[in-house]
Amino acid sequence: MKENQIPKATAKRLPLYYRYLRILNNAGKKKVSSTELSEAVQVDSATIRRDFSYFGELGKRGYGYDVNDLMQFFAKTLNDDQMTNVALIGVGNLGSALLKYKFHQSNSIRVSAAFDVNPEIVGRIVDGIPVYPMSDMKEQIAIQQIDIAILTVPAQRSQDVVNELVAAGIKGILNFTPARITAPNGVLVQNVDLTNELQTLIYFLHSGAEAADLEE
């Protein structure tokens, strides 16, 4: 498997496939066809087969896919077979909501530390997560072996904080700020702009586009 050849759209669908395979496995189902997967996850079967083809032969013609084997394969592919600690930077309204979320869809992802400048919450435990001062960020990221950070700080502070995160050894940043941050090669940045996503959805609603167009 050559990961750099996998399209971004395919990569975004992998957690969806994995989540449903876990449901099937917990229900005791042994095998599943691409048609059954298609109906469950609302992705056409041709797209599913194409997505799976990037990883080699995952199923057998006339048999379908072994649920447990496929689930274990995607667990390893998504690193869901090992714990990943995540840092939350900024415990404002959005940051607090993310702490409450707790990533229930995965047993291997947890926010293990949060950082903020607000003296009213620094030093407290918020929804089970310790909140440290920003001055402790580099030390705690090293101690807790954190590679990924969720960024929810004010936009005007985002790039400065990103620079600090990079210096601390962070390799991936999920950016919830509206600012378009820059990071050196080797540091992955995923931008999540809620306003942009809503405006895109509104555009498609009024343009009469099919739901599938949003997945392209």
Give the residue numbers of the binding site for NAD(+). 90-95
Q: Which of 208, 202, 106, 209 is nearest to 148 (CA)?
A: 106
Alpha carbons 56 and 54: distance in angstroms, whole number? 6
For residue 1, the tally of other CB atoms under 10 A from its CB is 8
Binding residues: 90-95
Alpha carbons 210 and 119: distance in angstroms, whole number? 48
Query: Which residues are paired to 85 by β-bridges?
Result: 110
- Contacts of residue 143, Cβ cutoff 8 Å, sequence gap at least 6: none
Q: Which two tokens stand for residue 39?
A: 């109906």
Q: Which two tokens stand for residue 81?
A: 């077979």
Please calculate the CA angle 7-212-178 and round it to the nearest 5 degrees. Answer: 65
Alpha carbons 47 and 33: distance in angstroms, whole number? 13
Query: Which residues are paired to 126 by β-bridges?
Result: 129
The SS3 assignment for 150 reads strand
